[in-house]
Amino acid sequence: MINYKNEQYPQNLELFHQRIMDNCVNLLTLKHYRIQDIFEIDSYGRKQISKEIKALRNNGKEIKGLYSFINKKDEIIYIGISQSIIRRIKQHLYSKYRNQATLAYIMALAEYNKENRNNYLGERIKFPFEKYRINLQERLREQSSIIIQRTEDNFELYYSEILYCCYYKPFWNTFETH
């Protein structure tokens, strides 16, 4: 059976689930990329995609799939999905906009709440993100590695994110919409 976009539903949900679960369990065995393996800084200070990551692309196409931030203890701290993983990782690590640097924003909220012994209840747009952003993004760049798992099928992509989060329970994932 297919939907209106001609996307195929899994024929056997149990086999589909088992295949995704096998990928999930083996996630930490995949290559861990350091941030400097993904982005090279050119002489003008611009972030360029490294040759190694360019080689992962299919004929220059974006890498679609699941990405995981890993801390120094080899724990998954955040799982995300994207139609363009490298662009999305760059947003998390370098963007000054809270709606793009989602991981840094979530971390900034937690830091704010801890400092003020109170949960921030104001509007997202009024949150003092800039006060926290640079240090948090720098810490992420220095202390994290990234696992990239290519997935072309949208159904598999969305299903994987939920299943992986249930399995690994990454500290920084939330399930509210932005």
Say yes or no to pLDDT of 158 above 70.
Answer: yes
- Give the pTM: 0.92
Instruction: Return d(Cα 70, Cα 122) in angstroms, integer.
Output: 30
Question: In 10 A of CB 28, how many CB atoms?
Answer: 14
Question: In 10 A of CB 53, how many CB atoms?
Answer: 20
Say yes or no to pLDDT of 178 above 90.
Answer: no
Instruction: Return d(Cα 36, Cα 16) in angstroms, integer.
Output: 35
What are the pLDDT digits (tens) for 123-145? 989 999 999 999 999 999 999 99
The Cα-based distances of 172 to 77, 113, 125 in angstroms read 6, 15, 20
Token pair of 163 as six digits: 């299943």
